[in-house]
């Protein structure tokens, strides 16, 4: 299961760099506040954030059925 998370995080990081690199606020953080809160969201940004949220929601939903690790007996005390 951990290999899937590693692959997702690696792919997600790479996609984030590709999709968000050309945005003005990627290089200058103060650009985030220009015209705030009337920013438009491009389709590439929208789908990037939806993919991220769907992954974290899947982690949340499977939290109860994940297998416990060796060191998990320390958490039960």
């009337």: which residue's tokens? Answer: 38
- CB count in 10 Å sphere of residue 44: 14
> What's the confidence (pLDDT) of residue 75?
56
Q: Reduced to 3 states, what is the DSSP secondary structure of residue 45?
A: helix
Q: Which helix (H) or strand (E) holds 19?
A: helix 2-20
pLDDT tens readout for residues 22-63: 888 888 989 888 888 888 888 988 998 898 899 889 888 887
- The answer, yes or no, to whether residue 77 has pLDDT greater than 60, is no
């940004």: which residue's tokens? Answer: 45
Model-level pTM greater than 0.85? no
Distance CA 52, CA 57 (A): 9
Please answer whether residues 9 and 48 qualify as being in contact, where contact means their C-beta atoms are separated by less than 8 angstroms. no
């Amino acid at each position: 299961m951990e290999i899937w998370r590693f692959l997702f995080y690696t792919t997600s990081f790479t996609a984030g760099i590709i999709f968000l690199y050309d945005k003005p606020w990627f290089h200058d953080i103060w650009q985030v506040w220009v015209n705030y809160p009337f920013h438009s969201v491009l389709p590439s940004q929208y789908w990037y954030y939806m993919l991220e949220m769907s992954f974290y929601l899947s982690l949340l939903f499977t939290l109860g059925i994940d297998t416990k690790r060796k060191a998990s007996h320390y958490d039960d005390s």
